Amino acid sequence: MATTTSAAPRRGTSWPLIPSLLLALAGCGPRALQAPFPVQTLADAGLKPLPAERLKACAGRLGLPPELPRPADRTNYGARQDRDVFGRTVPHTPQLIVLHETVLSAPDTVKLFATPHPKDEDQASYHLLVDRTGQRLRIVPDAGRAFGAGYAAFGDFTVRIRPQSVGSLNNVALHLSLETPPDGRGEGDAHSGYSEAQYRAAAAQVLLWQAAHGIPMSRVTPHEAVDRSHSRRDPRSFQWARFDAAWRQAVARCGLPAQAYDRGRATI
């Protein structure tokens, strides 16, 4: 979500046309219609997902309390799309983790996402929200496409589904948001920051996602860094040093090699 009171991030409009219909409208055969944009992919990160048994054991060692279900209305999230309008396979599995803040209180954020929003520009959601006590609130299943970063790119990488699309990362992103403290619920550039419980829970959750999907730390990014609308600044007042310390503690508890998940180099 934005760190201002401006409109929530757009999900990207759905497009009902299918390749055969496009061909029919163009009045040409399959070979005559040329896709106007290439399918982009991220380089192989070289990090294999952790086996299910080890992932479960890691989660147990982290000691996180169970998630609390706070589902978004179905208008506020969708399915990860495996093909573009031309029938080509596009990236659609989690490859990035995007960090946000709510600006609103956690209850108000949950209420916003549970409210039906028929207009694309009003639709927004995260996969998980971490409140001030460190509790994880489940908004959208990981397999779903949360609408957290509509107009976005990771470096030059973005996912486009149709010719008119400006590109989004929602198809490959996992969105984690921190509840903003009361003094940050406005237009200010900064606030008093996040609680220690939030850093611990966020770091543990990020590690679990990394281990489950083979995502290196170089692909864990703040929303501000991938936003291409130049309107998002979240998460404001985020202290990477505190997050990194909590993350390394989580890695140690799980008995995982930190260098495998944080190799100190980019993998774009």
The domains found in the chain, sorted by start residue, are 19-261 (3.40.80.10)
Looking at residue 165, its pLDDT comes to 87
Helical pair 240-254 and 196-213, crossing angle rounded to 10 deg? 60
Place of tokens 């048994």: 53
Looking at residue 34, its pLDDT comes to 75
Looking at residue 187, its pLDDT comes to 83
* CA distances in angstroms from 100 to 68, 103, 223, 248, listed in the order given: 19, 9, 6, 21
Looking at residue 14, its pLDDT comes to 37
What's the whole-model pTM score? Answer: 0.87
Looking at residue 148, its pLDDT comes to 97
Peptide bond into 71 cis (omega under 30): no
Looking at residue 131, its pLDDT comes to 98
**Cα distance between residue 217 and residue 202, in whole Å:** 13
Residues of the chain with pLDDT below 50 are: 2-32
pLDDT single digits (tens) 198-210: 999 999 999 999 9
